[in-house]
Amino acid sequence: MTIATPPIFERVADRVLERVGRRPVASPEARTIPHTERAVAGMATAARVMPVAVCLVQIALAYEWLVSGINKVASPYFATGLKLVLQQHVYNDERHTPYSAFLQRFIIPNAEGYAHLITWTEVMVGVVLLGSAVLWMARPAARLTAYAACAACVYLVAAIVMNLNYYLVDDEAVAWINPLHAFNEGVQLDAMLLLFSLVLLGANVAALRALSRRAAD
C-alpha cells in the first residue's frame, strides 16, 4: 500500500536538501513552465511542417478537381460519351501504341462504369484535398489532420493516375519548344496538374513523417 506524501512535506524536504547542496528548490510554477514551453514549441513546429503556401496550392488543385467532377456529375452525356471519345482516340492512333490496345481491350467495353468511377473519384479528390489543406492550416498538430493527410496522399495518387491517363488520351507529345504551338499553352494542363500532384504528395508525406518524429520525441 502506497501512502501519498503531503505537498508541505515535499517542500520541507526540498529546502533541507537545498541546504546540504543536493537538490535545488523548484516551485510548482517553475516545474510547469518547461512543460508549457515544450507544448508551445511543439505546436509551432507542427505548424511549420506544412507551409501555408503549399496548403494554398493544394486548395487551388482541390478546386480544379471539384469543378471537373461536378461538371461530370451534372452532365447527362459524360457517362455515355466517354466510350465515343476513347474509340476516337484508338481510331486516330496510327502508331497503335500499347495504351490504345489497353483502352480497346479493358476500358472501352466497360466505359460507362469507368465514367461513373472517374466522376466520383474526381469529386472525392477535390473534397479530401480541400479538407486536408484546411486542417493543416487550422489544426496542424491534431490527430484528425494526420488522418486527413493520409487520405490526401491516397487521393493524390489517384489524381496522378487520372492526369496521366488524360494526358495519354489527348495524345500530347512531351512538352518542348515548338513554334507551331505559339498560340497554345506551353505545357498541357494535365501534365502540369500531374507535376503539382507529385509535389503535393511529397509535401504531405514529408509533413506526416515530421509529425511522427515529433510524436516519438
Helix (H) or strand (E) holding 188: none
List, run by run, the mean pLDDT of 10-residue segments along the chain (217 residues).
53 53 49 52 59 96 97 94 90 80 92 96 98 95 94 98 90 65 75 95 94 80
Give the CA-trace dihedral at 175, 176, 181, 184, to 10 degrees. 40
> Which pLDDT score, from 0 to 100, does residue 33 have?
44
78 and 37 both lie in a single domain: no
> Which pLDDT score, from 0 to 100, does residue 168 have?
87
> Which pLDDT score, from 0 to 100, does residue 188 have?
83
111 and 162 both lie in a single domain: yes
73 and 42 both lie in a single domain: no
34 and 74 both lie in a single domain: no
